[in-house]
Structure 1
Amino acid sequence: MREFFMPQNNKVGLIQFTILTTVSMTDGIIMLPTMVATVGAISIYAWIETIICVMILAYAFAKCGAYSKKSGGYAEYAFGRSGNFIANFTYAIALMIANVGIAISVVAYSSAFFDVELSPADAAFLAGVVMIMTTAANFWGTRMTVKLGFTAMMCKLIPAAIMSICGLYFFDPQIFHAAWNPHHYTAVRAIGAANSFTLWAFLGLESACSNMDRVENPRKNVPVAVLSATIIIGIFSIIYTTVIQGIVPNSVLSVSNAPFGDAFAYMYGPVAGRIVTAFMIFGCAGALIAWQFTLGELLRESAGEGYFPEIFGKVTKDGVPVKGMIVMVLIQLIMIFFTISPTMVKQFDVLIQLATVDNLVPYVLAMAALDIMQKEAGHNERTTRLAAVIGGAYSMYATYQCGMDAVTAGMMTVLLGYMIYGVYAGQKPYTGHL
């Protein structure tokens, strides 16, 4: 969502770009305490591992942004137009799935706010209603989308920041100790079990490197900003998830539909819990409006490239791809009902795994292309090559840790993408730019 707040005319400096990049990686915080609690506080090992590996990925993506001269995408350097299509296709699918996950978060927090139990079918239906409403909110232009996106971020960040500071006063070492390793995992097993959740907090880091021309001294400032943002998000995530695990008993937290609301209820009483839950509902809904806009724009641009059907590229007089968004939300409604699970926490878990796998496909393609990029740009740095290899290896490891069901679904997505490319996109003329 960073692109909503990036100035279009004036270049930004290191500090401003670091703030923008940090804010762009805050959409995963809503249900994260619950997901981490399903593993236990021992997941702190996964946080450490993820931060280190994501920093390497961030450095590699910064290099991609510095060396890339093709508007088609990073994968094009190594895999041609078909590779770039697969990167765009899987990234679009990942965003669709991630947005469905946000819709489930809205329903989960709403069920906690109104204190109602929802059947899986009811939860799926309401998530579908949320998807339709948040998509329709974009039909009248981008001005309101920008405002809602920014307000939504604040609604999520403020409670998390308060929790990170004030929650320390309510932290109970005994509750935290009981939550340390409820499933008796080894450290290695715990890292693997929590990896997809901890990585979820950083997804979107690649987009920070896609607009080098908007940053002052980009070759120096972009890597520093992205690495700094990664560290900030990592430390912030460790603090608020750890603090909540020392406030809310793990048996409650691991099945909570509104972890931040429950934590504030334990700290300051039910009224405070309901207020924070309301903030999170608005935060989720506002973020979903903005991300549906982002997804619609991605599909519109890809349609202009000839990758997707022309319907995704048609816009109204206000510049909004309404018809494409309608098709997009119909696909997302199918995704909702295909991922129905016994609980909303479980459905959110399934969606995280699926979105992560599909999001990691472009990561691997970009890492594989980085060495070619740097050589075409007249560089031959061992550090860059090593970062690409480690980043690619970690992406494959993270994919494996999402589980065989998610990996199988991801593979089917890639195969479907190649079929679409061969039947449709590969026969379209290449425009050379998005």
Structure 2
Amino acid sequence: MTISLVMGNMIGSGIFLLPATLAPLGWNSIVGWLFTIAGGLCLAATFAWLARQMPVEGGPYAYTNAAFGPLPAFMVTWSYWISLWIGNAAIAVAGISYLGVFVPGMSATTGGDALAAVVLIWALTFLNLTGSRSAGGFQLVTTVIKVLPLLLVIVLAAVAMGTGEAELRPMEPGGIQPGIVTAAATLTLWALLGLESATVPAGKIRDPERTIPFATLVGTALTGLLYLVTCSAIILLMPEDIIASSGAPFADFVERFWAPGPALLIAGFAAISCFGALNGWIMVQAELPYAMARAGAFPRWFAKENAAGSPARALVVSSALMTVVVLLNYDSSAAEIFGFLLLISTACSLFMYLVCMASALRLRFGGGMASRRYLPWVAALATLYSAWTIYGAGGEAVAWGVGLLLVSLPVYALMRWRAA
């Protein structure tokens, strides 16, 4: 279940559209994937070490608090929490949009997609309220289902190449260019966000000091491998102009190398993929304020559990905030604002990665925590990689992300004043 939480939170809506964005980059996108997977594994290995040393709930908050104190921990976790319910709203809307293939009346012009997304949010919130076992079971099932179209692409690609039906796009002389590789690696990183998911609900996971590190590393490696093979197959075996203009590259690939009927099912798989990711992220976005409340950084009101052991109040508040963001997408004038908020939420996640990697270095060299010989090198690489991804996010998004971090200062002062 923990592996499915990691993989399920990474495999959401983005991967089903990413090949269209990467298609014009050709072989540069493959090199970009290799950079991203290597960086993601460095992040995962460092998170695994942190979880092994501190198998406590709250993940990023606990690590940053131990390394740098309560104020930096609050700033990073506050912005990360906001990024979760903003980004989760997008996942809900994306999942409902895929269902629009089967339910034509579900459209943005009528507000049907927004209302359906709200229903989806609260249905999955209720599922999480029934306990982590129910939510974990749903996550496991949806993760297995969402992997099926990825495996189908791999099988079809192997058959097409084996029968000579398709050939790899040739690599042009001098075709690998560092600037384009950097752009590709920046784009592919979005698909790996969520590798830290298992560290947040540590209190709900059995044997966390062993389960979380194992699930984080295995989940990241398997997801990265699936992404690399499937995106490479679609980009290198299909004509660039078809994929670059495609609104459903996975479906177009299946239609080209199999039949149009199964291609329609890809939309259903994509919807299920979004539902599974949203379920996992709803769990994470509630566990974060719950853990902060138990640590005294958030009002104790958020630390209340229901009879099923779920952080009921944190779940309801987080989902209510997510509902507000979804309803901002009700009319066309809010759509651009909504898209920009997604970019901000990504920047906040990248700042969290950077601070957590720096925390690992601080704890290793300043706190006397034991580690294997290679850990400092891996953590250093992960820190550099995190800084590079923030640079790649763009100046405007990063500026807004920094602004969100600074907004946490008066909130932190209010929390301290209330606790005094």
Q: Does the TM-score normalized on the shorter chain lie above 0.5? A: yes
Q: How does 1:67-86 map to 2 (within 5 A)?
A: 67-68=53-54, 73-86=62-75
Partner of 1:93: 82
Residue 102 (str. 1) matches residue 91 (str. 2) = yes
**Equivalents in 2 of 1:173, 1:227: separation in Å?**
36
**1:60–1:388 CA contact under 8 A, matched in 2:** yes
Name the aligned partner's letter for residue 7 of structure 2: S
* 305-314 or 150-159: bigger deviation: 305-314
Query: How far does residue 327 in structure 1 lie from its aligned partner after superposition?
Result: 2.4
Partner of 1:335: 325
Instruction: Determine which of 55, 78, 84 is the counterpart of 2:41.
Output: 55
Structure 2 residue runs without a partner (length 5+): none
CA shift digits 1:19-50 (9 cap, x unpaired): x3796366335432422421323311211111
Query: How far does residue 198 in structure 1 lie from its aligned partner after superposition?
Result: 1.8
CA shift digits 1:301-333 (9 cap, x unpaired): 222223334443334334444443332223223
Name the aligned partner's letter for residue 39 of structure 2: C
* 264-273 or 241-250: bigger deviation: 241-250
Residues 166, 66 of structure 1: alpha-carbon distance in 2 compared, 3 angstrom cutoff: same
CA shift digits 1:96-121 (9 cap, x unpaired): 23322321320231123446794478
Name the aligned partner's letter for residue 200 of structure 1: W
Query: How far does residue 420 in structure 1 lie from its aligned partner after superposition?
Result: 1.1
**Equivalents in 1 of 2:364, 2:322: separation in Å?**
38
Partner of 1:15: none
For normalisation by structure 1, the TM-score amounts to 0.77
Instruction: Determine which of 157, 168, 184 is the counterpart of 1:194.
Output: 184
**1:35–1:349 CA contact under 8 A, matched in 2:** no
CA shift digits 1:51-92 (9 cap, x unpaired): 222222233333323444887611123320112222322332
Partner of 1:325: 315
Residue 132 (str. 1) matches residue 118 (str. 2) = no
Residue 296 (str. 1) matches residue 281 (str. 2) = no
**Equivalents in 1 of 2:10, 2:199: separation in Å?**
18
**2:10–2:223 CA contact under 8 A, matched in 1:** no
Partner of 1:35: 18
**Identity within the alignment, %:** 24
Instruction: Determine which of 363, 372, 375 is the counterpart of 1:384.
Output: 375
Structure 1 residue runs without a partner (length 5+): 7-19, 430-434
Name the aligned partner's letter for residue 31 of structure 1: G
Partner of 1:274: 264
Q: How does 1:26-425 map to 2 (within 5 A)?
A: 27-28=10-11, 30-40=13-23, 41=26, 42-68=28-54, 73-114=62-103, 118-119=107-108, 122=111, 123-170=113-160, 177=169, 187-208=177-198, 227=217, 229-246=219-236, 249-254=239-244, 256-336=246-326, 350=340, 353-375=343-365, 376-377=367-368, 379=370, 383-425=374-416
**Equivalents in 2 of 1:276, 1:21: separation in Å?**
20
Q: How does 1:10-21 map to 2 (within 5 A)?
A: 20=3
Residues 384, 294 of structure 1: alpha-carbon distance in 2 compared, 3 angstrom cutoff: closer
Residues 286, 169 of structure 1: alpha-carbon distance in 2 compared, 3 angstrom cutoff: same
Residues 272, 382 of structure 1: alpha-carbon distance in 2 compared, 3 angstrom cutoff: closer
**Equivalents in 2 of 1:216, 1:68: separation in Å?**
9
Query: How far does residue 239 in structure 1 lie from its aligned partner after superposition?
Result: 0.7
**1:36–1:197 CA contact under 8 A, matched in 2:** no
**Equivalents in 2 of 1:146, 1:339: separation in Å?**
29
**2:85–2:285 CA contact under 8 A, matched in 1:** yes
Query: How far does residue 214 in structure 1 lie from its aligned partner after superposition?
Result: 5.7
**1:303–1:309 CA contact under 8 A, matched in 2:** yes
For normalisation by structure 2, the TM-score amounts to 0.79
**1:196–1:356 CA contact under 8 A, matched in 2:** no
Query: How far does residue 237 in structure 1 lie from its aligned partner after superposition?
Result: 0.9
**Equivalents in 1 of 2:390, 2:356: separation in Å?**
15
Query: How far does residue 249 in structure 1 lie from its aligned partner after superposition?
Result: 4.8
**1:100–1:351 CA contact under 8 A, matched in 2:** no
* 48-57 or 193-202: bigger deviation: 193-202
Residues 248, 332 of structure 1: alpha-carbon distance in 2 compared, 3 angstrom cutoff: farther
**1:33–1:244 CA contact under 8 A, matched in 2:** no
